[in-house]
Amino acid sequence: MLALRASICAAALLLLGTSTAVATTFDHGPYTGAPSASSVTVCWLSTPSVPARIEYGPRAAWDATGALPSALAVAAFEQDAFHMTTRVAVTGLAPATEYVYRVVLIDEQGETTSPLGAFVTAPPPGESVSFIVLADTQQQLEGINRLSLVGAAIAEDDLAYDFIVHAGDVVESPVAPYWDDWFASFATMLQRAPFLPVLGNHEDNHRSYYDTFELPPGAGKEEKQWWALHWGDVVIVGLDTNVSRVADYYAQQDWAREHLSGIEEHKFVVFHHPVFSSDAYHGSGYSYDVIYHPIFVEHGVDIVFNGHAHNYEHIERDGVVYLVVGGGGATPRALAEERAEGSILAAEGHHFYARVSTAPAEIAVDIVSVAVEIAGAPSPTPDLLIDAFTLPPTPSLSRLPSLGSLLFAVAVGALLATLVTLLLNR
């Protein structure tokens, strides 16, 4: 009987005592942003904020020893409604180097260690660059989680990409439950590379967007409403098409001109609303063909990435390629029967992302289908490319001159040379 009472008392103490305390865990992340040749920003959310340690080092060192040689201590901070996310710049890094990192949360109950994440620092000009683009992830309402399908596919892609660009509408609404769902859906993707979004209309220019992400040097609200990334031979200009003040459009026009006037060989722009689109619901109609298109033509922009329309379209106008890439997981939308001028290829019903690779004289783009909607549910589409192209375009065999044409051209050239010689010798 005494033994039984002792067991009951021990069980009660376990239920009521300190053993119910749990170490602080990650609500979001960790993940990275604002990469450069010598730094990156590591971000995470824990509630409450607690002291932490960022451990990091070159991947080569990790692969050789299983240890991370560098560590950075991070103090807890007082969270409030406007500042919840921890954002820490890791500096003094070597350029053109792949790093791995992890974050360790520290409290009275012990330590919580994150999974290993990765990032690369910017290369010098002349090196290849690769990146991922997606848009319109928004919210999974019911059924199979389409966001997780897209996130897992990007995380498992064999491309060694440097960063991930998002063309807006990251979440359905910029409040905590939607952010929680989004981070859970894209956790493995965010471990692969820095994440660089632009504002969509669903972000509503909300404070939580600015608190959540660390972006390349920019301007506008909190100096991150629009931004520019200079990365080896690549420049990417991110703009905000949700602004209503004329002054903000003028400011962004100047920003685009400035950052597209550099020495970079390959020039990209990303913003949410499409300049041109055959979407049945939204169409084009946002006046960006007047506001921005002449600037892109003047400065030789290669590709503009847009979202908002939940489908895919490849449009070429005046030497600029416009890609509508709104297939990140939001509900797909139909295309109109009549296509926009310059429409090369369009597809509806897919969840997809773009992978972009540059070499000194070429850009290669693949549009990777993850799933297609069938009877309201996503059906996986492994190894399916919706579109694939290179810039400058690779000539097709049908466009190459025939042997007969070449011989005829040689004969004509020889005849003309003979006639010129005879005339000169008269």
Domain boundaries, the chain: 26-120, 129-393
Q: What are phi and psi of 204, to 5 degrees?
A: 60, 30
Nearest to 147 by CA among 367, 355, 368, 351: 351
Q: Which CATH class is domain 26-120?
A: mainly beta
The full DSSP string for 209-277 is HHHH---SSEESGGG-SEEEEEETTEEEEE--TT---HHHHHHHHHHHHHHTSSS-SEEEEE-SS-SS-
Instruction: Give the model confidence (pLDDT) of 324-371 as tens digits.
Output: 999 999 999 999 999 999 999 999 999 999 999 999 999 999 999 999
Q: Which residues contact 259 (CB under 8 A, 6 or more apart)?
A: 228, 230, 235, 237
Distance, in Å, from the CA atom of 80 to the CA atom of 66, rounded to the nearest integer, reads 38
Distance, in Å, from the CA atom of 255 to the CA atom of 237, rounded to the nearest integer, reads 8
Stated pTM of the model: 0.88
Residue 172 near residue 203, CB atoms below 8 Å: no
Instruction: Give the model confidence (pLDDT) of 69-96 as tens digits.
Output: 999 999 999 999 889 999 999 999 999 9
Instruction: Give the model confidence (pLDDT) of 145-196 as tens digits.
Output: 999 999 999 999 999 999 999 999 999 999 999 999 999 999 999 999 999 9
Equal CATH topology for 26-120 and 129-393: no
Residue 235 near residue 229, CB atoms below 8 Å: yes
Three-state DSSP state, 410: helix
Q: Which CATH class is domain 129-393?
A: alpha beta
Distance, in Å, from the CA atom of 180 to the CA atom of 99, rounded to the nearest integer, reads 27
Instruction: Give the model confidence (pLDDT) of 203-252 as tens digits.
Output: 999 999 999 999 999 999 999 999 999 999 999 999 999 999 999 999 99
Distance, in Å, from the CA atom of 59 to the CA atom of 14, rounded to the nearest integer, reads 43
